[in-house]
């Protein structure tokens, strides 16, 4: 047990002593100078506190106390400046190396002493007031380095992090370790879904956490966040030249529409060197071309690219998605996947989402609004039912209408008694957004015989499709 001496008087000292007395985990013994009136006002009586009815500025009285015990730390919490300075000088005459914590209310107080820590009350108060301002992150100051490497972040309604599983969020030099929901502390797993009003406890590089804070609180123009930042186009040089150039041009179009994104083009099965050089001619600060000459290295190159370039969206030809080798590699990263369609992205006028499970609809909702807004596309939420059963759609519709008001973005709600696949095929200039769950990760052509609607939608080559992860 360590001995701590507190030379104190005044209102601040009273509150400090009450805090000391309320500690539930404390292996220190405190010796506190107090006059009778202040002692009665504090009402703090515990076994590890001894009160000393002495003048904290009296050299003789303080020396008698300090010679009788070995004190590791001395606190000076005195409201009168002259008395506080006398107390400091007395302690230094008695013990020249003992650590002193000097509470100061005076900005011009300066002490040349390596073993003194001055706590400026005005600075502490200003810092606490600053943290109460809106849109200011709350950081831990008294644990760790106190430099912002531990932070609390509030998830507002409409955040790109809301209704997102933790495992689907890109973590690089930071991590969510816990969160608070409805005044309860909870620990996270990859399957934990974040919700509006959650308070996240995050740790990591302070500069990275500042960016994370901004991303959590931004509501528009951030897709493909929070999955990552940039776009990744996988091109096989075995494809026809016309197909390759068409997909590259559509990828550049998407990259230009999605704010602050770069496009990384990974060429595999490299055998046409003239075409490779032609594609390399497209490189700019926002477009980078990467080439894999050894096919055995394709999975390793993709894996290295994902982390190095903060990839948030894959752009794939359908053949790659249905290829078992590439499907297994790419779906494991839990990133959105854009599948090219027979219809060009340039001609698309609206985004279409088929009504599904409530949790899936919530999870992809923010990304759907953000993507539609970035590309200036209309957004349609469609409840197509062969038997006309629309009873369970109310909460999903309410959720989307709330987001529409938040984004100031119009959404069209359709409810029709029709066959979903036939109705989809009747559309022309649309893009499908599909929840990207476990059944799609394990997708094979044989699953087209399944009763799962999303697996049938994948068979539609006519329209481009955006697969958004909804669970892990």
Q: Which pLDDT score is estimated for 45?
A: 63
Residue 296, phi then psi, degrees to nearest 5? -65, -20
Best CA proximity match to 187, nearest among 166, 206, 208, 172: 166
Helix/strand/coil percent split, the chain, to 5:
40, 25, 35
The pLDDT tens digits for 167-208 are: 878 888 899 999 999 989 999 998 888 988 999 999 999 999
CATH of the domain at 141: 3.30.70.1450
The reply to whether 223 falls in a domain is: no
Token pair for 155: 């998830």
Domain limit, last residue, from 339, 363, 379: 339
Q: Which pLDDT score is estimated for 450?
A: 45
Verify that 352 and 334 share a domain, yes or no. no
Residue with tokens 């959105």: 336
Report which secondary-structure segment, H or E, holds 372.
helix 358-374
Domain limit, last residue, from 339, 374, 389: 339
Verify that 52 and 23 share a domain, yes or no. yes
Q: Which pLDDT score is estimated for 446?
A: 47
The reply to whether 145 falls in a domain is: yes
- Contact, 381 vs 397, CB < 8 A? yes
Verify that 355 and 465 share a domain, yes or no. yes
The reply to whether 109 falls in a domain is: yes
Q: Which pLDDT score is estimated for 24?
A: 60
Tell me how crowded residue 247 is: count the other CB atoms within 10 A of its CB: 20
Verify that 284 and 329 share a domain, yes or no. yes
Report which secondary-structure segment, H or E, holds 65.
helix 59-68
Task: Report, as ranges of residue numbers, the positions in the chain whose pLDDT lies below 70.
Answer: 23-26, 35-45, 219-220, 388, 390, 438-455, 471-472
The reply to whether 126 falls in a domain is: no
- Contact, 115 vs 100, CB < 8 A? yes
The reply to whether 129 falls in a domain is: no
The reply to whether 128 falls in a domain is: no
Verify that 308 and 264 share a domain, yes or no. yes
Verify that 107 and 9 share a domain, yes or no. yes
Domain limit, last residue, from 74, 91, 121: 121
d(CA 189, CA 351): 32
Verify that 318 and 357 share a domain, yes or no. no
The reply to whether 224 falls in a domain is: no
CATH of the domain at 274: 3.40.50.20
Verify that 185 and 83 share a domain, yes or no. no
Verify that 7 and 114 share a domain, yes or no. yes
CA 433 to chain CA centroid, Å, is 23
Query: What is the tally of structural domains in the chain?
Result: 4
Verify that 313 and 258 share a domain, yes or no. yes
Strand positions, DSSP E, 9-98 = 28-33, 49-52, 71-77
Verify that 107 and 34 share a domain, yes or no. yes
d(CA 394, CA 381): 12
Verify that 455 and 366 share a domain, yes or no. yes
CATH of the domain at 16: 3.40.50.720
Report which secondary-structure segment, H or E, holds 185.
strand 184-187
The reply to whether 18 falls in a domain is: yes
Q: Which residue range(s) make up the domain with 305? A: 230-339
- Contact, 124 vs 131, CB < 8 A? no
């Amino acid at each position: 047990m360590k001995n701590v001496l507190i030379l104190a008087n005044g209102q601040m000292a009273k509150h400090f002593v009450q805090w000391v007395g309320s500690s539930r985990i404390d292996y220190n013994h405190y010796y506190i100078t107090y006059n009778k009136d202040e002692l009665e006002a504090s009402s703090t009586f515990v076994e590890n506190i001894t009160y000393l009815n002495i003048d904290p500025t009296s050299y003789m009285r303080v020396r008698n106390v300090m010679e009788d015990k070995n004190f590791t730390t001395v606190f000076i919490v005195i409201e009168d400046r002259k008395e506080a300075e006398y107390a400091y000088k007395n302690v230094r005459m008695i013990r020249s190396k003992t650590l002193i914590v000097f509470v100061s209310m005076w900005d011009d107080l300066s002490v040349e002493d390596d073993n003194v820590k001055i706590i400026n009350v005005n600075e502490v108060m200003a810092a606490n007031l600053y943290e109460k301002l809106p849109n200011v992150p709350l950081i831990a100051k008294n644990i760790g380095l106190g430099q912002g490497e531990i932070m609390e972040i509030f998830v507002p309604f409409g955040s790109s992090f809301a209704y997102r599983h933790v495992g689907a969020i890109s973590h690089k030099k930071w991590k969510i370790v816990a969160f608070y929901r409805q005044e309860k502390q909870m620990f996270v797993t990859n399957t934990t879904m974040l919700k509006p009003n959650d308070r996240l406890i995050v740790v990591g590089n302070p500069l990275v956490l500042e960016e994370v804070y901004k991303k959590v609180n931004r509501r528009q123009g951030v897709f493909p966040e929070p999955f990552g930042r940039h776009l990744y186009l996988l091109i096989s040089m075995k494809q026809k030249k016309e197909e390759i150039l068409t997909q590259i041009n559509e990828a550049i179009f998407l990259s230009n529409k999605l704010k602050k994104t770069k496009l990384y083009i990974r060429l595999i099965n490299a055998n046409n060197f003239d075409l490779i050089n032609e594609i390399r001619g497209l490189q700019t600060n926002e477009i980078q071309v990467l080439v894999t000459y050894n096919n055995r290295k394709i999975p390793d190159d993709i894996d290295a690219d994902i982390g190095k370039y903060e990839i948030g969206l894959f752009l794939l030809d359908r053949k790659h998605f249905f290829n078992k080798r590439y499907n297994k590699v790419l779906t494991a990263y839990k990133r959105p996947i854009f599948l090219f369609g027979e219809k060009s992205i340039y001609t698309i006028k609206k985004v279409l989402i088929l009504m599904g499970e409530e949790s899936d609809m919530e999870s992809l909702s923010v990304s759907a609004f953000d993507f539609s807004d970035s590309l200036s596309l209309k957004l349609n939420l469609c409840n197509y039912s062969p038997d006309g059963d629309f009873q369970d759609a109310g909460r999903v519709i309410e959720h989307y209408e709330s987001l529409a008001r938040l984004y100031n973005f119009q959404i069209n709600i359709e409810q029709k008694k029709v066959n979903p696949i036939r109705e989809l095929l009747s559309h022309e200039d649309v893009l499908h957004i599909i929840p990207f769950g476990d059944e799609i990760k394990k997708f094979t052509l044989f699953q087209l015989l399944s009763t799962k609607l999303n697996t049938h939608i994948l068979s539609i080559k006519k329209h481009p499709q955006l697969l958004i992860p909804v669970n892990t």
